[in-house]
């Protein structure tokens, strides 16, 4: 069962490199970072190479390798590291370090915690606008991979381990950043004129540790642009819906009864790594998987973290035909609870826990749409990445409204056709 702990002692000793990554000059800036961390790479035999990954839609991810002569691919990978640089302006979305807040970023704290529990690669250093950590060998999943039984069973087992064993960190540091740091500044006119305090943000759940998934969403709503009356009204509607959702679901008990677990909150396919067969548990038919990228990791109801992952089976294209049906969700939950029970004590029987968690997940199925819809509205304002965030926001918010229409019966009263996502969710 998750325990509450302050986070101010987890990663204070993490090596800090006082340099920034510059995407416009990625080769030179990445090389400076690597040689600061590993000066011997400059003199050793073999070239230094950088491999760019493009699975994400917010950050830059590079793999740095030293191709030493006579090293096998496995030996090279064992020495390789990942450089992850934050996207411009994402401080408003994620707790980053900035010139206004010279503290250890929340993500570094989360990563350090996970590493201590052997659930994340070793975190090697942080720099002005990112982190450097050890490379994990394995297969990066696609949305189609998530739908295959061996992979989703592996995900269920690993996610249960997270939820059952990781302590909940409470920092209270959820203020909006005013600047994007070395990579560029956030356009101030796009944000609300007055920046809310931590007290304003945390008031959405005054009796829960902060930050959490609800305070994260509150911070995002506060940051929504209000450059027109349409935007002002939309912000008010979304604030009202957040308050309504917290009132409905904010105290969902979960398996342990304490309401919150340490959630990943972004288990899209690119953040799920299927490790090589040599790493698999011989006592399980499911492969061993690892999760990467912990920038959104905060305390959340387990049902949110699981439902959010299910939504990612459709990928960025939101292909609802790939979402898990009732029977698949039940099998996933049974695997999850089995793994959860292996890591901590559960008093209740599976006959009680399985239907309870299934019901909680059903109740949360529209919340990821609200979460990522608000997120995408902000990204449409600040991001320089070639992705149609505005359309993505409308699609994800449409999921939330469709769920609400089922919950309150308005769709049936108005004799409207059930949307594809809801039809798929209802399939046995």
Segment 304-344, tens digit of pLDDT: 999 999 999 999 999 999 999 999 999 999 999 999 999 99
CA distance 294 to 205: 22
Residue 264 pLDDT exceeds 90: yes
Task: Decide: helix, strand or coil at residue 51.
Answer: strand
pLDDT reported for residue 41: 96
pLDDT reported for residue 219: 96
Give backbone dihedrals phi and psi of 174, rounded to 5 degrees, phi first: -125, 25
Residue 4 is classified by DSSP as: E
Q: pLDDT grade, residue 384 (50/70/90)? A: confident
pLDDT reported for residue 185: 32
Give backbone dihedrals phi and psi of 285, rounded to 5 degrees, phi first: -80, -15
Contacts of 77 (CB under 8 A, 6+ apart): 65, 135, 137
CA distance 213 to 269: 20
For 283, what's the count of Cα atoms within 13 Å in the CB-facing half-sphere? 3
pLDDT reported for residue 99: 32
Write out pLDDT tens, residues 32-49. Answer: 999 999 999 999 899 999
Highest mean pLDDT out of 92-96, 192-196, 206-210: 206-210
Q: How many angstroms separate the first and last alpha carbons of the chain? A: 31
Cis peptide before 211 (omega within 30 of 0): yes
Question: CA dist 349 to 254, 337, 352, Å?
Answer: 14, 10, 5
Cis peptide before 104 (omega within 30 of 0): no
Phi-psi category of 341—alpha, beta or left, where left has phi over 0 and alpha has psi -120 to 50? Answer: alpha
pLDDT reported for residue 280: 67
Mean pLDDT over 210-215 rounds to 95
Q: Name which residue leads in pLDDT, 95 or 140.
A: 140
Mean pLDDT over 282-292 rounds to 85
CA distance 296 to 278: 30
Mean pLDDT over 197-205 rounds to 94
pLDDT reported for residue 267: 98
Q: pLDDT grade, residue 257 (50/70/90)? A: low
Mean pLDDT over 23-32 rounds to 92
Distant-in-sequence contacts of 403-408, Cβ < 8 A, 24+ apart: 403/365, 403/366, 403/369, 404/366, 407/366
pLDDT > 90 in the chain, percent: 72
Residue 97 pLDDT exceeds 60: no
266 C-beta neighbours (distance < 10 Å), count? 23
pLDDT reported for residue 192: 53
The strand pair at 4-6 and 168-170 is best described as parallel
pLDDT reported for residue 89: 61
Mean pLDDT of the chain: 87
């Amino acid at each position: 069962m998750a325990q509450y702990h302050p986070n101010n002692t987890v990663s204070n000793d993490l090596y800090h490199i006082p340099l920034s990554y510059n995407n416009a000059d990625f080769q030179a800036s990445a090389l400076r970072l690597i040689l600061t961390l590993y000066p011997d790479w400059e003199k050793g035999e073999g070239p230094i190479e950088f491999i760019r990954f493009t699975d994400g839609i917010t950050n830059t991810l590079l793999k740095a390798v030293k191709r030493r002569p006579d090293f096998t691919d496995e030996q090279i990978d064992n020495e390789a590291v990942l450089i992850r640089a934050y996207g411009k302006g994402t401080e408003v979305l994620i707790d980053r370090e900035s010139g206004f807040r010279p503290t250890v970023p929340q993500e570094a704290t989360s990563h350090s915690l996970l590493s201590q529990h052997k659930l994340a690669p070793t975190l090697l250093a942080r720099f002005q606008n990112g982190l450097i950590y050890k490379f994990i060998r394995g297969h990066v999943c696609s949305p189609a991979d998530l739908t295959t039984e061996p992979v989703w069973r592996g995900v269920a087992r690993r996610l249960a381990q997270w939820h059952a064993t990781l302590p909940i960190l409470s920092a209270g540091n959820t203020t909006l950043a005013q600047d994007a740091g070395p990579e560029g500044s956030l356009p101030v006119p796009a944000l609300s004129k007055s920046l809310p305090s931590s007290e304003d943000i945390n008031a959405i759940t005054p009796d829960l540790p902060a930050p959490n998934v609800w305070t994260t969403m509150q911070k995002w709503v506060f940051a929504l642009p209000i450059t027109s009356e349409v935007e002002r009204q939309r912000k008010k509607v979304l604030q009202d819906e957040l308050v309504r959702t917290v009132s409905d679901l904010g105290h969902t008990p979960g398996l342990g009864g304490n309401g919150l677990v340490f959630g990943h909150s972004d288990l899209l396919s690119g953040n799920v790594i299927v490790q090589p067969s040599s790493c698999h548990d011989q006592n399980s038919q499911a492969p061993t998987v690892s999760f990467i990228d912990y920038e959104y990791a905060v305390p959340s109801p387990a049902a949110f973290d699981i439902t959010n992952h299910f939504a990612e089976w459709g990928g960025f294209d939101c292909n609802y035909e790939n979402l898990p049906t009732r029977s698949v969700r039940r099998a996933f939950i049974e695997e999850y609870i089995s793994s959860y029970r292996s890591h901590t004590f559960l008093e209740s029987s599976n006959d009680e826990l399985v239907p309870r968690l299934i019901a909680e997940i059903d109740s949360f199925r529209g919340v990821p749409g609200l979460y990522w819809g608000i997120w995408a509205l902000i990204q449409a304002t600040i991001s320089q990445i070639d992705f149609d965030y505005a359309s993505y926001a409308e699609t994800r918010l449409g999921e939330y409204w469709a769920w609400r229409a089922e919950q309150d019966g308005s769709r049936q009263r108005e004799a409207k056709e059930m949307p594809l996502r809801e039809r798929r969710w209802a399939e046995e």
